[in-house]
Structure formats: C-alpha cells, structure tokens
Structure 1
Amino acid sequence: MTDPTDAETRLRARLAEVEERVVAQRRAVDGIVESARDSNADDEHDPEGATLAWERQQASALAAGAETERRELLAALDRVAAGTYGVCEVCGRPIPAARLEARPAATRCVEHAR
C-alpha cells in the first residue's frame, strides 16, 4: 500500500506543475487570439509555415490536456483522503508503485489499465 502522506505530497507537487501549465497554455491561446484579432492577413494560405488557426488549435489542445490532468490529480487527492488511493478500482489489489510513479492519478493496476 502507498504511504498516504508521501502520495499526497507527490500529487500536490505534480498538481502545482500542471496548474502552471494550464495558466501558461491559456495565456498562449489568448495571445494567439489577440494577435489574430489585430491582423487581417490571410494566414490560411501562408506558404511559409503554420497558420494562426493551427497554432491556436495546438495551444487549445495542450490546455485541454493540462485541464484533464488537473481534474485527474484532484480526484487522486480525493482518493488519498478516502483511503482508496493506490487501489485498483477493478480488482481491489494495490497498484504497483512504479505505475503510480509514472501515472500518479492511475485508478487501475497494469492488468486492468485502459
């Protein structure tokens, strides 16, 4: 079984990193939107590189991924508080420490991973 204090410390540290990433990605999206607002250039047909639309979509996808990870980490902290962190939701066996190290918000053991 995973030490709840250690698990909570690691989860909170990871959550802080992810929250910084969420803020940074939101800023990136806002910056791209703002720069597009001030320009009437047809970037959809620019042969020199990526379009603003592509950059905005990329930054939005990264922000969404960070938001998803944030929700998963918050749910993991709830499991720590409930005493169920590190227990597979399918079979009830402990999730290996190496898996929790790689995926701190894991809810399933390797055998039942999706």
Structure 2
Amino acid sequence: MDARERLEGERRRTAERLVRLRREHEGFVEASLNSNADDEHDPEGATIAFERSQVETLTRRLEQHLTELDAAVLRLDAGTYGVCARCGGSIPPARLEARPAALTCVGCAT
C-alpha cells in the first residue's frame, strides 16, 4: 500500500468513527434533555454528563486527526511527506505506517 492509499484509508476510518461519535453524542444530549433524573448522584455508575464529556473529547481528537491527515496529504502533494519537520531527515516507513500523519522522525519525536 502506498502513502496516499494509507492516508486515504486512515482518513476514511477516522471520518467514519467521527460520524459514530457524533451520533452517540446526540444520544447523550437527547437523553439528558428528556430526563429529569439526577444522574450526578446515581450510584450505578458514570453520569450522562461525564459520558457526554468523554465523547466530546474523543470527537475533538478525531477532528484534529482529520486536520493532521489533510496536512499530510498536502505534504505528499508537495513532495515533503516522510521528511521530518524538525531535523529534515527521513521518517522511517514503519513510523509512517503506524502514524500516517507523523511530522517527525522517531528521534525528534522523543
């Protein structure tokens, strides 16, 4: 699989996860609107507000990841994909397979 296919696949999977999370978030919002229960004092587990907060955080992370993937595609088009943004060296192919939007080589990332 080449870099463009890897980036497109990662973007597609991330966008699909984002759609699912947004639906889940809508469900939490709807549940909290339609309920007058005091979920903050529910001894059975996590509150709806806590669950909603977690989904919102995951949503922001996925949105950021999409932005990073789009930037990686721009680097690919510019011929700079796989070049460390910090030291200018090559980013190892194994790192790009694991983290397709990686900006830095392993040495600079640590």
**TM-score band, normalised by shorter chain:** over 0.9
Q: Secondary structure of the equivalent of 2:107? A: coil
Counterpart in the other structure of 2:21: 25
**1:46 Cα deviation (Å)?**
0.3
Aligned match of 2:40: 44
Number of matched residues? 110
Of residues 56, 76, 79 in structure 1, which corresponds to 2:75? 79
Structure 2 gap ranges (5+) = none
* Equivalence map 1:31-110=2 (5 Å): 31-110=27-106
How high is the sequence identity, in percent, across the aligned residues?
Answer: 54
Q: Give the 4+ runs in structure 1 shifted more than 2 A.
A: none
TM-score with structure 2 length normalisation?
Answer: 0.96
Work out the CA distance in 2 between the residues paired with 1:40 and 1:29: 18
**CA distance in 2: counterparts of 1:72 and 1:22, whole angstroms:** 14
What is the TM-score of this pair, normalised by structure 1? 0.93
| Contiguous gaps of at least 5 residues in structure 1 | none
